């Protein structure tokens, strides 16, 4: 996603795994990356969550059951 003036940009994802015989509300992962950028400053927020029962059968996920928040402010 991006605004017409390119000041805002962002990405969002959500994934759900389906494991046979498991009925868990923690079989998902999600995240976002939002950025507001001007010449003199940058505001950014990254957030990632991987549920404790998320099963990435088609890829590699190094760990499960974590939340990562990464806010950043840069001023020139």
- Residue 46 CA to residue 12 CA, distance in Å, equals 10
> Residue 12 domain-assigned?
yes
> Residue 26 domain-assigned?
yes
pLDDT category, 18, cuts 50, 70, 90? Answer: confident
Check residue 17 and give its pLDDT. 86
Q: Name the percent of the chain lying above pLDDT 90.
A: 58
- Residue 32 CA to residue 1 CA, distance in Å, equals 11
CB 68 within 8 Å of CB 47: yes
DSSP label at residue 39: S
> Taking 80 as the threshold, does the pLDDT of residue 59 lie above it?
no
SS3 60: coil
Instruction: Please tell me the total count of domains within the chain.
Output: 1
User: What is the residue range of 16's domain?
Assistant: 8-75
- Residue 12 CA to residue 61 CA, distance in Å, equals 18
Check residue 74 and give its pLDDT. 96
> Residue 1 domain-assigned?
no
Check residue 1 and give its pLDDT. 87
- Residue 52 CA to residue 10 CA, distance in Å, equals 26
Check residue 57 and give its pLDDT. 79
């Amino acid at each position: 996603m991006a605004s017409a003036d390119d000041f805002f940009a962002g990405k969002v994802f959500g994934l759900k795994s389906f494991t046979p015989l498991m009925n868990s509300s923690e079989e998902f992962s999600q995240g976002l990356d939002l950025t507001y950028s001007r010449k003199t400053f940058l505001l950014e927020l990254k957030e990632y969550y991987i549920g404790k029962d998320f099963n990435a059968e088609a890829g590699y996920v190094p760990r499960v059951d974590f939340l990562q928040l990464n806010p950043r402010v840069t001023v020139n």
